[in-house]
Amino acid sequence: MNPFAYPAFQVLSDLMLPVRHGAALMNHSLAAWQAYAGTPQGRSLRATCDLLTLSGLTHSRPPFEIDSVDVDGKPVPVIEEVAASTPFCSLVHFAKDAARNGSDHAQPRVLVIAPMSGHFATLLRGTVRTMLAHHDVYITDWHNPRDISLMHGRFGFDEYVQHIIDFIQKIGPGAHLLAVCQPTVAALAAVALMAADNDPAQPASMTLMAGPIDTRINPTRVNELAKSKPLEWFEKHLISAVPFGFAGAHRRVYPGFMQLNAFMAMNLSRHLDSFVDMHYQRAKGDERLADAIRVFYEEYFATMDLTADFYLETVDTVFQRHSLPLHELEVRGRKVEPSAIRRTALLTIEGERDDICAVGQTLAAQDLCDKLRPYLKAHHVQTGVGHYGVFNGRRWERQIYPRVRALIHDNEASPINVNARSQPIVPLQSIPPITSAAAASVLNEPGKTGKAGAAPKRTRRRESIAPEHMIDPQALADDVPGTQAVETDGEGDRSTSPSA
């Protein structure tokens, strides 16, 4: 463990706090003094204050800011409710006024599993907002471990899976599951365990998006990093303890600022260019582009820690030992067998340009669920998007979401009011089902993996599938959360550490 990393960071953060607050106060003053704020000197000063305000991290969850949603062209109020809570997570329900939601029937209940990878659940704000018009949405709102006392015990991969099971049971039978990136492994494990128990609450459908089900396939830079060092190296260099002054003092964590450093170091020049461009756009008076970048970084710099147990177990089981695809994953002493899943429809979604979870890694879930009938399986690769474009931006809204919605509505037991379908959807039948034969170009056939731990045959990635421009203001809209106001067709990606 690195005992000095977190305390040293906190001291530096505390020293910078007066500077950040002073810059924010100056910005408020300039906003009130329009005669000067509109001059070139005033705009330049505001731009500098923006940079200083963003010179530190925040450690509390930003608001979702979803107060209403349009249903059939009519705004319907949305209220955040906590349906269930544990010391480590809250099950947040985005409740809509039933009398004004434009439907005579209850909408399909969907549990969105947010990743615990250094950012808060608000990273999926755009995902939730899109789904709310036609679904009754719940989301896992993971708490920051630095605010969780040691008295509440450990939180590792097993506890993560158990939280998913408990929340599905809380929502009740017939619900649907949507997992984004990192939690796809835990979500698949949870559904497999529920299926093995013949749990009446096992979900009607499961959508796995851009997740590391089998990272031996087309390994990315992130995957190679996770295997380049022994697990002891990660524990020695990346694990620290929460300093005094916080409820979670002495809890061993993978600090959020380290995760953010990993994010930024892999694309540092793009981030620096983005900051320069934000200053330039603000100074020349283009408020829209400058605000888009600022809003993105306000979310991006809101970081949360990961418990050491969860981080290390994720690196070990998912990225180093590949326990799930090798049928070796155990949760609380029980072996996880995806072949037990027979009733839950499965949709896997990948991004063509994803340089975090490459094409084929999420598709692996299709072969693992080998007892699931072909008509309950579907797969979609979205062209032209990277990792974050799979669940945020215009391509998510216009091309990916209709497929997700079709799967959910086609597997909903209760009748759905078709008048609520304000967007055209792609019939599930038009999405080619994925069978073992269809996946053979990416995966070995079941039972033919060869030696234990041997990787499936890789498919060569085309040269065009490469990291895109990430924070270029003209490339924010489709692939960077929180910046959909920028009208552009560009793409952008963030690279991440093994836990994401």
Rg (CA), the chain: 23
Are the beta carbons of 180 and 115 closer than 8 angstroms?
yes
pLDDT at 28: 77
- Rounded mean pLDDT, 221-239: 93
Q: CB of 173 within 8 A of CB of 119?
A: no
Whole-angstrom distance, CA of residue 468 vs CA of residue 221: 14
Q: Is the pLDDT of residue 337 over 60?
A: yes
What share of the chain in percent tops pLDDT 90?
Answer: 54
pLDDT reading at 431 higher than 70: no
> Higher-confidence residue: 308 or 282?
308
Closest alpha carbon to 187 in 5, 350, 346: 346
For the chain, report the end-to-end CA distance as a whole number of angstroms. Answer: 21
Q: Any alpha helices (H) in 141-252, and if so which ranges?
A: 157-171, 184-196, 221-228, 231-238
User: What is the spatial distance between Cα 347 and Cα 365, in angstroms, rounded to a whole number?
Assistant: 9
Q: Which residues pair with 141 in a beta bridge?
A: 90
Residue 85's beta-bridge partner residues?
90
Q: Which residues contact 98 (CB under 8 A, 6 or more apart)?
A: 106
Asked whether the CA dihedral 265, 271, 272, 275 is positive or negative, the reply is negative
Q: Which of 48-52, 157-161, 176-180, 349-353 bottoms out in mean pLDDT, i.e. has the lowest?
A: 48-52
- Write out pLDDT tens, residues 448-489: 334 444 444 444 333 322 223 333 333 343 444 333 333 333
Please give the Cα distance from 495 to 285 (Å, whole number).
31
Asked if pLDDT for residue 424 goes beyond 90, the answer is no
Pairing of strands 205-209, 176-180: parallel
Angle between helices 40-53 and 268-284 (to 10 degrees): 150
- pLDDT for 378-420, tens place per residue? 999 999 999 989 999 999 999 999 999 999 999 998 544 433 3
Q: Choose between 480 and 14: higher pLDDT.
A: 14
The token pair at 281 is 């756009």
| CATH, range 68-229+305-475 | 3.40.50.1820
| Domain ranges (residues) in the chain | 1-56, 68-229+305-475
Give the span between the Cα atoms of 10 and 19, in whole angstroms.
15
Percentage above 70 pLDDT, the chain: 81
What pLDDT, on the 0 to 100 scale, is given for residue 247?
Answer: 93
Burial 435-465 (b: 16+ CB within 10 A, else e): eeebbeebbbeeeebeeeeebbeeeebeeeb
Q: What is the pLDDT of residues 106-135, one digit of tens each?
A: 899 999 999 998 889 999 999 999 999 999
Segment 34-51, tens digit of pLDDT? 777 678 888 888 888 888
Average pLDDT, the chain: 82
445-to-217, 368, 384, 411 alpha-carbon distances in Å:
14, 10, 29, 28
According to DSSP, the residues that pair with 17 across neighbouring strands are none
What pLDDT is stored for residue 53 in this prediction? 82
Q: What is the pLDDT of residues 188-225, one digit of tens each?
A: 999 999 999 999 999 999 999 999 999 999 999 889 99
CA pair distance 134, 422, nearest whole angstrom = 9
